[in-house]
Amino acid sequence: MTGGPTSGDPGEMSGERSDEISDEESRSAMRAFLQRSEVRLSTVHRVGQALLGGSALILLLPLFIRDGFPRMTTLLISSYDAHQQWAVIVGIAVAAVLSVVLPVVAIFLLVSDLLGFYFTSNTFGAPGAGPGHPARTVFNPRFIIPGLGFNDDELNATTRPLLDEGREDEWTKALLVPRNLDDGGWRDRFDTRVFEIWGTVIPEGLAGDDERLRQSFRLAGLNHDRTLAHDVARTEALLAKHVLTIRVAVLRYTKALLLLITTTVAILAASGFVEQAMNDDPSGGRFLGGFPYRYSFLVALVYVAWAPFAARSVTAPLRMIQRHTPGVGEYQDVYLDKRTTQFESATVATTLVVLVGAISALVVAGWEAGGALGLTIGIALSIVGAALWLVALRGYRVGPRQTLIAVQLLLRGREAPAPSTVLAAARRPIPPTESPTEADR
């Protein structure tokens, strides 16, 4: 059975109707399908355009936290210079750095998804990379929507010469290839480019203009064997690729947006406490005796609260989708698709690291600031923060091993899931077993 968007035997699905459809009716239906596809592609690209503009959200981060980094640096440096507790310094430093890195990574991955949405490899007729190299498919990125050419099977004996005449028009060809040799070296650059990509040797001067025109169409992804049926088949695949990539990009965008909001609020709160400490300091914010532990306690508390909210931010979009589509399975089923939940799993692991560091700083700062009472309050708030983190992950069904694999793949720039050993075992042929004999029975 050939691949495609449908399954089963076409004759069985259409019944007797397939014998009644004329060639002209079939071609009219294909043209109508291409028109509907153009509308749908336009809609999907408008969504992609909105996400491309939304990826500029990262530019808002410095606007909202322009005082955050100087304030947190003041806290850490003054604590270090005063030889204060390492647990407080390291805990707050880890929490502050990771809480900012996560939204940046999310936007970076969103840009990567959008590049996968807008671009593909120009593989149409792309063998070889030079005459001395072995034949192989050459990677050459191009826009996902290829150039548009008229279908050869839509021409007849009258219209074909007219189209050929139009294609030979010098002003039409000049859109891609300069009309004369006074081209500022364009032909030499283009010929060198094509030779280095595909090993194609183009004749010098005007004699090679037809080949330059053909190679220009080739770079635009325009295939020479254009038929109406081939256009339909490629459009089916093009729509499928768009839907698959925009799905991941939209989910990534919503997670990045919620994570950015949570992080911005946390940094504003933490820097506000540091600024208050600077105002209260007798030395004018130089903290000659070290940073006050009571304010370190409050800053650590901010990041203890950030961890459960951040974990909930990245798991919330899929929860919302499942809530709006009831009766289609359980929420936990989404974790079977590790590709969809890869960033989510890595973020949960990061929030756990932030939570542990912030709790350590909270407990130690509480002891240093208020003795036994401060220690008790710090432990109580730490328990509350840990409990909130667990509540935020209610329904989260990713084990430690899968979480670590997600982090590892993300750091390597790879998409989940990792190759499955269970799948490899299932693919192995089952050895035939001998049928039991009468004696064995």
Q: String of b and e for 21-54 (b: at least 16 CB within 10 Å)?
A: eeeeeeeeebeeeeeebeeebeebbeebeebbeb
Look at residue 415 and tell me whether its pLDDT is greater than 90: no
Residue with tokens 């040799």: 181
Tens of pLDDT, residue by residue over 124-152, are: 455 554 545 556 677 778 888 888 888 88
Three-state DSSP class for residue 25:
helix
Burial of 222 (0-12, 13-18, 19+ CB in 10 A): middle
Strand partners for 142 = 120
In the numeric block, which tokens belong to residue 359? 């709790």
Q: How far is CA 66 from the centre of its chain?
A: 27
C-alpha distances out from residue 238 to 27, 46, 220, 227, 302, Å: 20, 16, 15, 16, 46
In the numeric block, which tokens belong to residue 78? 């003054």
Q: Where are the domains of the chain?
A: 50-118+244-418, 141-222
- Pairwise pLDDT comparison (149 vs 240), residue with the higher score: 240
What backbone phi and psi angles, to 5 degrees, belong to 393? -100, 20
Cα–Cα nearest to 109, from 337, 419, 413: 413
- Residue pair 402/345 in contact (Cβ under 8 Å)? The answer is yes
Tens of pLDDT, residue by residue over 164-190, are: 888 888 888 899 999 888 888 899 999
- The long-range contacts involving 181-188, CB below 8 angstroms and separated by at least 24 positions, are 181/205, 181/206, 187/212
Which of 9-23, 193-207, 251-265, 412-426 is least confident?
9-23
Strand partners for 137 = 127
- Residue pair 209/10 in contact (Cβ under 8 Å)? The answer is no
Which of 2-16, 83-97, 167-181, 263-277 is least confident?
2-16
Q: How many CA atoms lie within 13 A of 83 on its CB side?
A: 0
Percent of the chain with pLDDT over 90: 27
Cα–Cα nearest to 110, from 243, 315, 242, 255: 255
- Pairwise pLDDT comparison (225 vs 104), residue with the higher score: 104
Look at residue 428 and tell me whether its pLDDT is greater than 90: no
In the numeric block, which tokens belong to residue 402? 């899968």
* Residue 127 per-residue DSSP state: B
- The pLDDT of 378-388, averaged and rounded, is 95
- Residue pair 119/95 in contact (Cβ under 8 Å)? The answer is no
Look at residue 243 and tell me whether its pLDDT is greater than 70: yes
In the numeric block, which tokens belong to residue 241? 């690729």
Look at residue 406 and tell me whether its pLDDT is greater than 90: no
Percent of the chain with pLDDT over 70: 86
Three-state DSSP class for residue 141:
strand
Which of 42-56, 71-85, 227-241, 427-441 is least confident?
427-441
381 pLDDT band, cuts 50/70/90, is very high
**162: enclosing H helix or E strand:** helix 159-167
11 pLDDT band, cuts 50/70/90, is very low
